[in-house]
Amino acid sequence: MEYFNVKDILGTRVDEGQSSYVRLGTMPIVQQTEDVFAQGLPDEYAFVTTFKFRKTSRREDWYLWQIFDKYGIPQVSIRLDGENKAVEYNAVGLTKDAVRAVFKNPEVDNLFDRNWHKIGLSVEAKSVALYLDCKHIQTLPIEDREDIDIQGKTVIGKRLYDSVPIDFDLQRMMIYCDSKQAELETCCDLPTGPVSRTPCKLTLEKKLMLPVQKHQLATDNIQCLGISCHKL
């Protein structure tokens, strides 16, 4: 078994003031959900990712991250709607098919350029909070969510209407069991962030990483997806 390590990504690139990242879009990034979330998602968690759009993806409507069950029914997702400049969190509802929180305002518009950005979502029992570049944007209410079915698949970066892989650059993607981690994130890894003049080097410690089998070709090219159940 090996741990995801950003430095060992095939096709890794380095940006000025930026840690290693991978350029996606040539193949689907798919993993069996039970290999990623063996016990399912926690009731409350934080989703954090550092990425940037490419020219072809800024106006696309796509899923940055999605889990669907063994029948192909979506369980949870983060949707980036480039045409309407919105960030949407979706999940299976406890009493209805789906519940969602849609973030759409002028501050969200800034996400849809070609600069590096950090998205943080704090998912709690009754609310979802969005953080962009370490700034709290909005907190929205959400109805009760159902547990996910881990017998399906987890996908990164696919277009909404035909599941084609999306072109974008990804430096980091993490899910923390502590929902407050989205609020505690810093932006020293962003070239245009608050402390970009003295950029810090991002290191992903093993305790935050998920093990992956060498033969899992679908995820060998994206080695910065992880989950941490450590309270940081």
What pLDDT digit, counting tens, does each position of 221-231 carry?
333 445 544 33
Q: pTM for this structure?
A: 0.78
Residues of the chain with pLDDT under 50: 1-11, 193-225, 228-232
- pLDDT, position 26: 85
Other CB atoms within a 10 A radius of the CB of residue 217 amount to 10
- pLDDT, position 106: 95
- pLDDT, position 189: 76
- Enter the tokens of residue 14: 């380095």
- pLDDT, position 164: 92
Distance in angstroms (rounded) separating the CA atoms of residues 138 and 87? 11
User: Domain 2-228 - what CATH class?
Assistant: mainly beta
Cross-sheet strand order for the sheet of 153-159: 29-32, 153-159, 61-68, 74-81, 86-92, 98-103
Angle made by CA atoms 144, 147, 148, in degrees to the nearest 5: 125
- Enter the tokens of residue 222: 């994206």
Q: Give the pairing type, strands 168-176 and 225-228.
A: parallel
DSSP state of 43: S
Distance in angstroms (rounded) separating the CA atoms of residues 49 and 162? 23
Spans of all domains in the chain: 2-228
Other CB atoms within a 10 A radius of the CB of residue 149 amount to 17
Distance in angstroms (rounded) separating the CA atoms of residues 65 and 74? 11
Each residue's pLDDT tens digit, 147-203:
999 999 999 999 999 989 999 999 999 999 999 999 999 998 787 644 433 334 333
- Enter the tokens of residue 204: 């992903």
- pLDDT, position 91: 97
- pLDDT, position 155: 95
